[in-house]
Amino acid sequence: MKILQLCAVDFTLFHFLLPLMRGLRDAGHEVVGACAHGKLVAKIEAEGFRTIHVPIRRSANPLALWRSYRAIRHMLAVEKFDMVHVHTPVAALAGRLAAWRAGVPKIVYTAHGFYFHEHMKWPKRAAHIGLEWLAGRTTDLLLTQAEEDAATARRLGLARGPIHAIGNGSDPARFRPALPAETTRADIRAASGTPPDRPVILMVGRLVAEKGYPELVEAMREIDAELWIVGERLASDHADGIDAALAAAERDPVLKARIRLLGYRSDVPDLLRAADIFTLPSHREGMPRSILEAMLSGLPVVATDIRGSREEVVDGQTGLLVPVRDARALAAALQRLAGDPALRAKLGAAGLARARDLFDEAKIVARQVALLAALDASRTRD
């Protein structure tokens, strides 16, 4: 098949879709990526993939959506794809409608976490469900990462074709605990001025409020540990920022001494091996890969009790779950782990075993490749 992988930005294509693109290419398919181009496109093309620039804006503005639709529709008129596989909310909506209008034989949607969620106000939630239902009339195969999302999609009828939960995963060879002879942990801590025995909490995520940064910054007032924050705000982000929280931390001598902003990093596996605890106090997620990477690295995880995260973290066994937007509960959970090395080791070991069993990237990619092949076989029979 000639397959298009379509998303809004190159960040998604590079960080999340490349393993699937490789798997499809290894299975003999021609794979093309399409998104709004940025600095990461060169890395994608360096692996031999062709990419197409489509000016998709991450915006729910009707005019912006129409322009994204027209750009995708024009691209599909030039390229003749056997299958269009869409990802991320705006690209998924505009892309499916454009592919349907262009007569693409098969349309696939992977929901990396529906935009609507249980903490969203009902009118907004209903509007987003309505849009998902409408686009679902064009969807031959709907894949979700979390089982909870798949159950929701079936209950609401969000696709005309089959709905499957595929899970999420990462590479156990890249994300792993430190080996006995490795000095990476000591080297990274020495470079940052962090003592060898100082508990380090690591957070990896875009610098937007919905990732839970305001609560995390507030929680750090109560925690005798150091927080390393890895991430940046994307130019395409429309979510609320965290400037106020960071400004408060800068003014507070205690917080300023405990919080380090590391920016965008390409050495996240090494940073995980240098840390002691991972946290992701998000307000909403799909099935976050960062938690899986932390578990594969042998770290205990403190996360919010939301869809996706609660499917990865078993409360009290591989980590701790806390309520959304609850800085006190977050502080208590993090301080509990910061002060108990034995508990950290126990939860981290259990998380490592669970991640290796359930969240190996190769298994997730193989599952998707098989589902797409089965969909193509049904097209051939039709």
Judge if 161 and 279 occupy the same domain. no
Q: Does a structural domain hold residue 20?
A: yes
- Which tens digit of pLDDT belongs to each residue from 161-215? 999 999 999 999 999 999 888 888 999 999 989 999 999 999 999 999 999 999 9
Beta pairing, strands 163-165 & 141-144: parallel
Q: Same domain for 371 and 247?
A: no
Span 349-368, mean pLDDT? 97
Confirm whether 175 is domain-assigned.
no
Domain count, the chain: 2
pLDDT band at 382 (very low <50, low <70, confident <90, very high): low
Confidence class for position 379, pLDDT limits 50, 70, 90: low
Whether residue 304 sits in one domain with residue 280 = yes
Statement to judge: residues 290 and 160 lie in one domain: no
Average pLDDT, the chain: 94
* Domain housing 100: 2-169+361-381
DSSP conformational letter for 103: T
Q: Global pTM?
A: 0.90
Tell whether 163 and 46 lie within a shared domain.
Answer: yes
Closest CA to 89 of 113, 123, 67, 54: 113
Nearest to 161 by CA among 274, 245, 259, 83: 83
Query: Are residues 350 and 370 located together in one domain of the fold?
Result: no
- The secondary element (H helix, E strand) that includes residue 18 is helix 18-26
Longest CA–CA span in the chain (Å) reads 68
| Residue showing tokens 């006995």 | 180
Is there a domain that residue 179 lies in?
A: no
Which of helix, strand or coil describes residue 324?
Answer: coil
Q: Are residues 196 and 158 in the same domain?
A: no
Instruction: Give the C-alpha separation, 336 to 332, whole Å.
Output: 6
Residue 23 is predicted with a pLDDT of 98
Q: Are residues 279 and 197 in the same domain?
A: yes
Poorest-pLDDT segment among 49-63, 94-108, 142-156: 49-63
Name which of 200, 169, 178 is nearest 293 in CA terms.
169
Buried/exposed 209-247: b ≥16 CB within 10 Å, e otherwise: bbbbbbbbbbbbeebebbbbbbbeebebeeeeebeebbe
Q: Are residues 313 and 261 in the same domain?
A: yes
DSSP 8-state symbol, 221: G
Mean pLDDT lowest for which of 100-109, 157-166, 236-245, 348-357?
Answer: 236-245
Instruction: Please report, for the domain that includes residue 231, its CATH number.
Output: 3.40.50.2000
Report how far residue 228's alpha carbon sits from residue 282's, in angstroms, rounded to the nearest whole number: 16
| CA 136 – CA 97 distance, rounded (Å) | 9
User: Looking at the structure, do residues 350 and 371 belong to the same domain, yes or no?
Assistant: no
Residue type present at position 347: L
